[in-house]
């Protein structure tokens, strides 16, 4: 496979961009090797600068549920572009998008558009603290809520500890207001509420994990969080940046029947352009400036191009049979992967929620981050490169999700499964 142009571009990039990339996971550190520089995408395909073609199961990390360069999205953005790129003033599209999101997710009575999922989570936490007048926040090990200082924390030793920051440059005092427990551990969460009564502002959680690989909530876990927060007077924040409009029209909160106080959105919301949002109960959102004292602002918030792409995407997803197709294709892919693993006696499992899934090697269960970290990451690296050589583009990390789009046809899934079987056969025979 020819990669000389990607190699040359990476060399140039490293001179001016830290690590040669503008987001760390793009550097392929987890799987070794060098990243491919992508030139274009169409439907379920991407093409790199050397002319190599791949079936894409990365989907730009989740936003492209319709596939690359979907005609309706392209048309919407093009028409909007002719009228201007940004105004720093309200537009009709912002109102339409807010109304549409509220219709899909009734727990969101009002929302504020921002430019990224990180900004959405950061702002939701600030609002929760402002509303409750409390300082501490509970998050779960392995759940990623962006790179804001207070949320870059993970579990320490013991039952549950005040976490140390995960990154230099984050003052320990910032991370010290974040309490971290294992995902799916309702008992330890309850212990924190007993230890810090009336001090916890919010629990923030990915209702379905997508940033430690896909992990599903245990039965009654989300409902249990709803009850714990309600009893204590804390808020429940669902980070649906990945799951929003992915697992259902109304996100994971529709699937599990649990309504949070605040919700964070991104990825699919912008249809492939930078856009995020946070929203929830009107009484909470009323604290945001200019109505209230909690300040949040953004020059490009509600950017017309991103709003147009988001509206086109959500309207396309409203058509009958969309989520049934995604579920069916997700099931086909899951069944096919597990069949090959069983056939060749290779230890592993697939965690899936609709059209997002993760294949873990060497483990029998993955219900929290600790179990995910026990998976065979070296084998995952070989798997990634084996699939890449066969024209299948996957997330370059064990701790991410494969995304199936509406652009993927049955034959795309079958080709990927055939490539997987070929790789497993070689791997199993040494």
Query: Of 185, 267, 393, 412, which residue is the catalytic one?
Result: 267
Give the strands of the sheet with 402-403, arranged side by side: 348-353, 356-361, 402-403
CA–CA separation, 128 vs 161, rounded Å?
A: 21
CA 243 to chain CA centroid, Å, is: 7
Compute φ and ψ for 226, nearest 5 degrees.
-60, -40
Distances in Å between the Cα of 84 and the Cα atoms of 78, 79, 115, 311, 411 are 10, 9, 18, 17, 40
Query: Of 48, 139, 141, 144, which residue is the catalytic one?
Result: 144
Indicate the burial class of 326 (C-beta count within 10 angstroms; 0-12, 13-18, 19 or more).
Answer: buried
Which tokens hold the place of 101? 């999101």
Assess whether 267 carries a catalytic annotation.
Answer: yes
Strand 402-403 to 262-265 pairing = unpaired
CA–CA separation, 342 vs 346, rounded Å?
A: 6
- Please state, as a whole number, how many other Cβ atoms lie within 10 Å of the Cβ of residue 39: 14
CA–CA separation, 120 vs 232, rounded Å?
A: 24
Which residues face 108 on adjacent strands?
A: none
Assess whether 411 carries a catalytic annotation.
Answer: no
Which tokens hold the place of 67? 């596939």
Query: Of 239, 261, 383, 412, which residue is the catalytic one?
Result: 239
Assess whether 16 carries a catalytic annotation.
Answer: no
180-213 burial code (b ≥16 CB/10 A, e <16): bbbbbbbebbbebbeebeebbbbbbbbbbbbbbb
Residues recognised as catalytic = 144, 239, 267
């Amino acid at each position: 496979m020819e990669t000389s142009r990607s190699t040359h571009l990476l060399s140039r990039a490293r001179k001016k961009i830290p690590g040669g990339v503008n987001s760390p996971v793009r550097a392929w550190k987890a799987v070794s090797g060098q990243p491919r520089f992508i030139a274009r995408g169409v439907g379920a395909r991407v093409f790199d600068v050397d002319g190599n073609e791949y079936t894409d199961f990365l989907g730009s990390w989740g936003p492209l549920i319709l596939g690359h360069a979907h005609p309706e999205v392209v048309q919407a953005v093009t028409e909007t572009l002719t009228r201007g790129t940004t105004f720093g003033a309200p537009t009709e599209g912002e109102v339409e998008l807010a109304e549409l999101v509220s219709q899909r997710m009734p727990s969101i009575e009002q929302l504020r558009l921002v430019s990224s999922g990180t900004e959405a989570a950061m702002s939701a936490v600030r609002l929760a603290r402002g509303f409750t007048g409390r300082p501490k926040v509970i998050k779960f090990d392995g759940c990623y809520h962006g790179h804001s200082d207070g949320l870059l924390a993970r579990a320490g030793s013991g039952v549950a500890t005040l976490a140390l920051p995960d990154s230099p440059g984050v003052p320990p005092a910032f991370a010290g207001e974040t309490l971290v427990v294992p995902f799916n551990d309702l008992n330890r969460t309850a212990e924190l509420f007993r230890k810090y009564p009336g001090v916890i502002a919010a629990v923030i959680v990915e209702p379905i994990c997508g940033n430690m690989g896909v992990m599903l909530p245990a039965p009654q876990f989300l409902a249990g969080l709803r009850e714990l927060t309600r009893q204590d007077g804390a808020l429940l924040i669902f980070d649906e940046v990945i799951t929003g409009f992915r697992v259902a029209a109304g996100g994971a909160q529709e699937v599990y029947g649990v309504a949070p106080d605040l919700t964070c959105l991104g990825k699919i919301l912008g249809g492939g352009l930078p856009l995020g949002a946070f929203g929830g109960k009107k009484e909470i959102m009323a604290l945001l400036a200019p109505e209230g004292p909690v300040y949040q602002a953004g020059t490009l918030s509600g950017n017309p191009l991103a709003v147009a792409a988001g509206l086109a995407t959500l309207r396309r997803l409203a058509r009958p049979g969309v989520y049934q197709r995604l579920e069916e294709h997700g099931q086909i892919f899951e069944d096919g992967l597990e069949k090959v693993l069983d056939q060749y006696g290779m230890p592993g499992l697939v965690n899936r929620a609709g059209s997002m899934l993760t294949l873990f090697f060497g483990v029998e269960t993955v219900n929290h981050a600790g179990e995910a970290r026990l998976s065979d990451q070296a084998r995952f690296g070989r798997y990634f490169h084996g699939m890449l050589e066969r024209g299948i583009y996957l997330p370059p990390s064990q701790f991410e999700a494969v995304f199936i789009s509406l652009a993927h046809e049955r034959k795309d899934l079958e080709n990927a499964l055939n490539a997987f079987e070929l790789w497993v056969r070689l791997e199993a025979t040494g």
